[in-house]
């Protein structure tokens, strides 16, 4: 497995070994010992989402009960983003992004303490992710996808399709500090 560091320490792009031939391909998408060697904790929950072109999901996090997320695209392509929202972090409010696709088979590790979201850039996408903690609806928090202070350079997909929760999300500066994780 190849490990690629991003501009924010702890946020990783992982490139699993892929064995391909005329029949197709094989890869390990998760193996506890191998991923622990890369610094990932045990993962306890799998999620799967299917979305159409222009759907933007996020930016989401939980606090407390922070969730690290190992994300990958099984089919299609997405622009995937992690935003550091840890109070006291030298990277607070900064973001990193990666293009994930079913063809590249790359994975993106978004540690706890980061807001996560993605935008579908292909006709459709099948998006899978594993989480380091269970879903706790009472701890859920959404950060506004177009917060001008964060200034994510989203791809042009027309007007993004958002959930009501994401349309009504707060800007980072509007979120009460005690609702955010500590660095």
C-alpha 179/C-alpha 56 separation (Å) is 23
Select which of 60, 63, 116, 118 is catalytic: 60
Is residue 164 helix, strand or coil? helix
129 is catalytic: yes
- Whether residue 1 contacts residue 105, with contact meaning beta carbons closer than 8 Å, is answered with no
Catalytic residue among 35, 116, 118, 129: 129
Number of other residues whose CB lies within 10 A of the CB of residue 110: 26
* Cα 50 to Cα 65: distance, rounded to the nearest angstrom: 25
Q: Taking a C-beta distance cutoff of 8 angstroms, is the pair 92, 64 a contact?
A: no
Of 84, 75, 49, the residue nearest 161 (C-alpha): 49
Query: Could you confirm whether 134 is annotated as catalytic?
Result: no
C-alpha 137/C-alpha 117 separation (Å) is: 17
Catalytic residues: 60, 129
């Amino acid at each position: 497995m190849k490990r690629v560091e991003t501009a924010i320490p702890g946020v990783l792009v992982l490139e699993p070994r892929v064995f391909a031939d005329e029949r197709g391909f094989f890869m390990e998408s998760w193996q506890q010992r191998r991923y622990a060697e890369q610094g990932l904790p045990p993962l306890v929950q799998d999620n799967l989402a299917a979305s159409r072109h222009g759907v933007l999901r996020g930016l989401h996090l939980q606090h407390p009960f922070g969730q690290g997320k190992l994300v990958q695209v099984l089919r299609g392509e997405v622009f995937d983003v992690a935003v550091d929202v840890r109070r006291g972090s030298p990277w607070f409010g900064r973001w990193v992004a990666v293009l994930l696709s079913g063809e590249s088979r790359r994975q993106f590790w978004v540690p706890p303490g980061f807001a996560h979201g993605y935008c579908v850039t292909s006709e459709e996408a099948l998006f899978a992710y594993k989480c380091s903690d269970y879903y706790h609806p009472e701890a859920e928090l959404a950060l506004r996808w177009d917060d001008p202070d964060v200034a994510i350079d989203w791809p042009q997909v027309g007007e993004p399709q958002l959930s009501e929760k994401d349309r009504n999300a707060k800007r980072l500066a509007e979120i009460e500090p005690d609702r955010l994780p500590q660095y």
